[in-house]
Amino acid sequence: MTFPLPPDPTGTILGRRTFLRGAALALAGAPLGRLAGQPPAGPETTAAGLIVRSREPQNLEFPVGRLDRVITPNELFYVRNHFPAPTVDAAAWRLKVEGHVARPVELTLEAIRKLPAVTLPATLECCGNNRADLSPKTKGVQWGPGAVSTAEWTGVPLGAVLEMAGIRPGAVEVVLEGADRGTVADPPSPGPIPFARSLPLAKALRPEVLLAHTMNGVPLPAAHGAPLRAVVAGWYGVASIKWLTRLIVTDRPFQGFYQTYDYSVWDRSIGVPQLRVVTGMEVKSLVSHPAPQEAVPAGKPYKIRGAAWAGEHTVTTVEVSTDGGQSWGAARLLGQATPFTWRLWEFDWNAPAVGPAKVLARATDDAGRTQPLTRDPDRKNYVINHLIPVAVEVRG
């Protein structure tokens, strides 16, 4: 099976040459992306330009001002780790498939690489993306707008691997376990626990759920889960378990830490609040240009630019306001809609007045969802898609 390639209005999809050039620049750059002896200007960055939100565990943010194509280069793809990244010896590595199956199997990387592969582009967004914009401040990594990126993933459908083991009648979920582990403080875990999450079989068996060994045409980088990770297209990034070691088919729902205490939101659909695990991504947009506090020239054409995504749904419109939300105009959606993938957009602005201005973007999808104006506190510190203005300065 093949999925359509993402549209790339700026030219061809990032090619090998660009990758090599990117890698060469990364090597040539100073370790922290600035010259020795100079005071830090703004947040610390990696040589490639990722914003360092924490060093250990490593949490790195995509600098959204670098958004100029659908596919994010690997060295600019955000990184979200809960524990120190594990060292995995690919030769000794095995993927175990067990639990409520007819015949447990163990697969080598070589065996997985020989299975029929699928390539699909997919946007991953951390459900804590934009957490730094919440007030009052909430716990968790204080992300700006760039805990979101898009890659073209190649791998084996999860369903094909589960079929090799034979899902037994009565199975409801599959737990995906990573090789990374650590002790959780609140509530205290019984010693180290692995990073693990489950998927209901209804999602796990869909064609857009892959076990990916290749990212943008090269072997999966260590930071992104080498040698094998899940890519659960359409869902918040937390479902896409990295450094996979084990799949456990279960006949009952999994209640792991990362889908009960963490990564859950309040749900009132039955009339009494209950915690519900975060799943599909909400509709959302980001403004890549102008950057916050950027000086925009008055009386001259300026292109406001950004991206919009909608998880398992399709973005239908993006509207832009340059007056803090009083009036709105339609942005141009670039390229074509590609499932599970953000879409770039642009909006022509001719800033009339001199002084501060507030730029807002608002996306709507084919399920009729629109980004909300205000923050819903039931979402705790997750699922942040309300409208967040970008403050800019119009200069004569």
Ligand X SMILES: Nc1nc2c(c(=O)[nH]1)N[C@H]1C(S)=C(S)[C@@H](COP(=O)(O)O)O[C@H]1N2
3-state secondary structure 158-216: HHHHHHHHCECCCCCEEEEEEEEEECCCCCCCCCCEEEEEEEEHHHHCCCCEEEEEEEC
Nearer to Mo ion, 124 or 392 (CB): 124
Strand order in the sheet with 329-330: 295-297, 390-395, 355-365, 315-321, 329-330
Cβ–Cβ < 8 Å for 208, 236? no
| CA nearest to 259, candidates 243, 274, 273, 238 | 238
Cβ–Cβ < 8 Å for 132, 243? no
| Residue nearest to Mo ion as judged by C-beta position | 126
Nearer to ligand X, 53 or 386 (CB): 53
Nearer to ligand X, 79 or 132 (CB): 79
Question: Environment class of residue 47 by beta-carbon count within 10 Å: exposed (0-12), middle (13-18) or buried (19+)?
Answer: middle
Cβ–Cβ < 8 Å for 382, 277? no
d(CA 211, CA 61): 24
What is the x/- site pattern for Mo ion, positions 63-82, by CB under 5 A? Answer: -----------------x--
- Buried b / exposed e over 356-395, threshold 16 CB at 10 Å, is ebebbbbbbbeeebebeeebeeebbbbbbbbbbbbebebe
- Binding-site residue total for Mo ion (CB under 5 A)? 4
Minimum CB separation from Mo ion for residue 125, in Å?
Answer: 8
Minimum CB separation from ligand X for residue 226, in Å?
Answer: 10
3-state secondary structure of 291: coil
14, 67, 122, 126: which one binds Mo ion (CB under 5 A): 126
Q: Which does 78 bind (CB under 5 to 8 A by kind): ligand X, Mo ion, none?
A: ligand X
Minimum CB separation from ligand X for residue 124, in Å?
Answer: 6
Minimum CB separation from ligand X for residue 203, in Å?
Answer: 15
Nearer to ligand X, 124 or 162 (CB): 124
Q: Which does 382 bind (CB under 5 to 8 A by kind): Mo ion, ligand X, none?
A: none
3-state secondary structure of 331: coil
223, 238, 241, 363: which one binds Mo ion (CB under 5 A): 238
Minimum CB separation from Mo ion for residue 225, in Å?
Answer: 13
Nearer to ligand X, 59 or 364 (CB): 59
The residues of the shown chain that bind ligand X, judged by CB under 6 A, are 77-82, 124, 126, 178, 180, 195, 224, 237-238, 240-243
- Part in contact with Mo ion (CB under 5 A); list of ranges 11-19, 234-242, 336-344, 351-359: 234-242
Residue numbers at the binding site for Mo ion (CB under 5 A): 80, 126, 237-238
